[in-house]
Structure 1
Amino acid sequence: MRTNKTFLILLLLLSISSFAQQEKNEKKEQIKALKVGFITNELSLTTEEASKFWPIYNAFDDKQFELRHQKMKAFKARMDDEALDKMSEKEAAALLAQMESNEDELCQLRKKFIANLKGVLPATKIIKLKKAEDNFNRKLLQQYRNKGPKK
């Protein structure tokens, strides 16, 4: 009998976790769809431009996400106040070097991305892309702030 209750509780917890992950993925996909529409509209992409642009952009965006979130997650875990207070100068220098390397990698990724876009879009649209990304992120942040928890 106790095993059944334990099994039911475990099943319930797994269901809740799965539901939360599914909801998170749906929100991420929803934001991505909004971003695609926003950028397409802001750049006035033709059908031909869009068909060449989006595979390049999506590959760049995925790689950028990986670099920013996966690698920086490891850094952030080591940067709480207690860990920083206990960190030796040698460990701090190594962490700083890793952070600089990550930033260099992001910069190189962006340069490669722009080089790839030069064969697909005119320079004016590449510049408009940066502005559109910034505007989208600003609007998304503003919307989050407006809907966020009230204090």
Structure 2
Amino acid sequence: MNIRKLLSILLVLVSVSFYAQNESMKEKKEKIKVLKVAFFTTELDLTNAEAEKFWPLYNTYDDNQFELRHQKMRAFMKRMNDGSLDKLSEKEASNFLSQIEDTEEELFALRKKFTQNVKAVLPATKIIKLRKAEEDFNRKLLQQYRNKSIQK
């Protein structure tokens, strides 16, 4: 395992502090972004030219995805957990389901557009590595969150 890979994994594992309760969502998001950049840089082995073109595309995509997930999906989850689901009429439930599906389609379209844009910057092999790196990063982040919750 090379030193860059070891360093990025260490950064992810050591940075438990971003789940502190007194931090704002923006601060947490920024810390996660820094960890993600380090992790992806190592995993994708981007050249300087690739990185220069890739990061603006990825950051725009990531910000748009975050907004969709945290604005719309959070509202959906709140509604699902507030006890009102049992009181929905079939028509209201159908409309709610349509809203969820529309948001999922927006997320898919956003991902598809990003993939099309990044094809001009990265070879297909690195795009596939990016998908894997995203999954690996999210899995490590979730594991770190779970470990922090268990320690409390």
**Candidates 6, 20, 23, aligned match of 2:22:** 20
- Which amino acid is 1:32 matched to? K
CA distance in 2, matches of 1:147, 1:75: 26
- Which amino acid is 2:69 matched to? R
Q: Counterparts of 1:85-124 in structure 2 under 5 Å?
A: 85-124=86-125
Aligned residues: 132
CA distance in 1, matches of 2:112, 2:137: 21
Q: Could you tell me which runs of 5 or more consecutive residues in structure 1 were left unpaired when the two chains were aligned.
A: 1-18
Aligned Cα root-mean-square deviation (Å)? 1.8
- Which amino acid is 1:27 matched to? K
Alpha-carbon distance, 1:21 to partner: 4.9
Structure 1 residue aligned with 2:68:
67
Name the SS for the 1:120 alignment partner: coil
Structure 1 residue aligned with 2:59:
58
2:130 matched to 1:129?
A: yes
Q: Could you tell me which runs of 5 or more consecutive residues in structure 2 were left unpaired when the two chains were aligned.
A: 1-20
- Which amino acid is 2:149 matched to? G
Structure 2 residue aligned with 1:14:
none
Instruction: Give the structure-1-normalised TM-score.
Output: 0.81
Larger Rg: 1
Q: Counterparts of 1:1-40 in structure 2 under 5 Å?
A: 20-22=22-24, 24-40=25-41
Structure 2 residue aligned with 1:48:
49
Instruction: Give the structure-2-normalised TM-score.
Output: 0.80
Alpha-carbon distance, 1:147 to partner: 2.2
Residues 88-137 of structure 1, C-alpha deviations (whole Å, 9 max, x = no match): 00000000000111111111111000000000000000000000011111
Percent of aligned positions that are identical: 65
